[in-house]
Amino acid sequence: MRKFFKHLLPNRESIHQIRWLQPVHHWLVHPNLWHLHRRSVAGGVAVGLFCGLIPGPLQMLTAALLAVLFRVNFPVALFSTLYTNPFTIVPLYLLAYEIGAFALGNGAAHNVPAFPDWQWHDGYAPIWNWLLQLGQPLLIGMPLLALGLALTGYVAVRLAWRAMVVWKWRRRQRR
């Protein structure tokens, strides 16, 4: 699988030749940003899962900045933000609300406000008001859920990578 993706990823020279990246190309040439190894990929997944819960179009921008800062796989970090979409964002926010309510110690006392009866011509005001009603439990639950997803993703990739290496060793040993 690594060989399959290796030819799709850009190398240092191709990044250096993109003219509009000249002001920041010195940040993008670190080898960990483009190589596929267990620490870089696991870190990229963790960054992407953490940034996926950021509202709006800032997910990929934040994932890109954190990938460069932590020197983890850049494309993997960007790609793994895509788990949030119009179908998954409301359940994830409700889960974050429940986690926040549990962390505050009043999980059973809070009732989740009903999602508004919303039509496209209403604009986003009803949804914004619904989010404001969620309040403090959501603000506490979002970072907790993001950290939990990032940690779970990191550990899952590291374990899966290790299992794949052991499987290949055993297969090679049998031959």
Per-residue model confidence (pLDDT) at position 142: 92
Residue 70 backbone phi and psi in degrees, to 5: -90, -5
At 142, list the tokens. Answer: 């979002």
Domain boundaries, the chain: 2-174
Nearest one of 156, 133, 140 to 46, comparing CA atoms: 156
At 20, list the tokens. Answer: 């509009």
Q: Which helix (H) or strand (E) holds 94?
A: helix 89-104
pLDDT in tens, 12-39: 666 666 665 566 665 666 777 778 889 9
Report CA-CA distances (Å) from 161 to 40, 137, 150. 12, 35, 16
pLDDT in tens, 46-69: 999 999 998 878 999 999 999 999
Predicted TM-score (pTM) of this structure: 0.77
